[in-house]
Amino acid sequence: MKMLVIGSGGREDAFVWKLQQEKNVEKIFVCPGHPYMDRFDKVELLPKKNEDELCDFALKENIELTIVGPEAPLTKGVKDKFSDKGLALFGPSQKAAQLEGSKIFSKEFMMKHDIPTADFVVCSDFEKAMAALNDWDMKEGIVIKADGLAGGKGVVVTKDKKIAEQTLYDFMKNPKVSISTDSILLEKVLPGVEVSAFALCHGEEYFFLGSACDHKRVFDNDEGPNTGGMGCFRTPEWPDLKLLEKIESRILKPTLKGCVTTGMPFSGFLFMGLMINEAGDPYVIEYNVRMGDPETQTLFPLIEGDLSTGLIDLMRGKKPKLRLKNESSVHVVMTSGGYPSIDDTPLDKGNRITFTEDLIHSSSEETKLFLAGVSRNEAGEMINSGGRVLGVTALGPTLERAREIAYQSIELIDFKGCHYRRDIGARSRG
* CATH C-level class of 2-92: alpha beta
- Per CATH, is 193-324 categorized as 3.30.470.20? yes
CATH number, domain 328-410: 3.90.600.10
What separation in angstroms does the CA of 330 have from each of 110, 210, 222?
31, 14, 17
Of 164, 200, 202, residue with least CA distance to 184: 164
> pLDDT tens across 71-93, in order?
999 999 999 999 999 999 999 99
Average pLDDT for residues 112-121, to the nearest whole number?
97
* Rg (the chain; Cα; Å): 21
For the chain, give every residue range classified as CATH 3.30.1490.20.
Answer: 119-187
For the chain, give every residue range classified as CATH 3.30.470.20.
Answer: 193-324
Write out the H or E segment, with its range, that includes residue 3.
strand 2-7
Q: Which pLDDT belongs to residue 152? A: 67
Could you tell me which residues come within 8 angstroms of residue 134 by beta carbon, excluding any fewer than 6 positions away?
Answer: none
Total residues belonging to the chain = 430
Q: Which pLDDT belongs to residue 211? A: 96
For the chain, give every residue range classified as CATH 3.40.50.20.
Answer: 2-92
The 3-state DSSP class for residue 77 equals coil
Instruction: From the options 3.40.50.2020, 3.30.1490.20, 3.40.50.10420, 3.40.50.20, give the CATH code of 119-187.
Output: 3.30.1490.20
The pTM of this model reads: 0.93
Mean residue pLDDT across the chain: 94
> pLDDT tens across 132-175, in order?
999 999 998 999 999 988 766 788 999 999 999 999 999 999 99
Give the up-direction half-sphere exposure of residue 300: CA atoms within 13 A in the CB hemisphere. 27
Q: How many CB atoms lie within 10 A of CB 112?
A: 11
- Separation CA 412–CA 172 (nearest Å): 42
Give yes or no for a contact between 393 and 296, defined as CB atoms under 8 angstroms apart: no
pLDDT of 177 over the 80 cut:
yes
> pLDDT tens across 285-319, in order?
999 999 999 999 999 999 999 999 999 999 999 99
DSSP E strand boundaries for 300-403? 303-304, 323-324, 328-335, 367-371, 374-376, 382-384, 388-396
DSSP E strand boundaries for 177-219? 184-187, 193-202, 205-219
For the chain, give every residue range classified as CATH 3.90.600.10.
Answer: 328-410
What are the two backbone dihedrals, phi and then psi, of residue 365, each rounded to the nearest 5 degrees? -70, -30
How is residue 336 annotated by DSSP? -
Pairing assessment for the beta strands 65-68 and 2-7 based on DSSP bridges = parallel
Could you tell me the strand order of the sheet in which 89-90 lies? 43-45, 27-32, 2-7, 65-68, 89-90
pLDDT of 430 over the 60 cut:
no
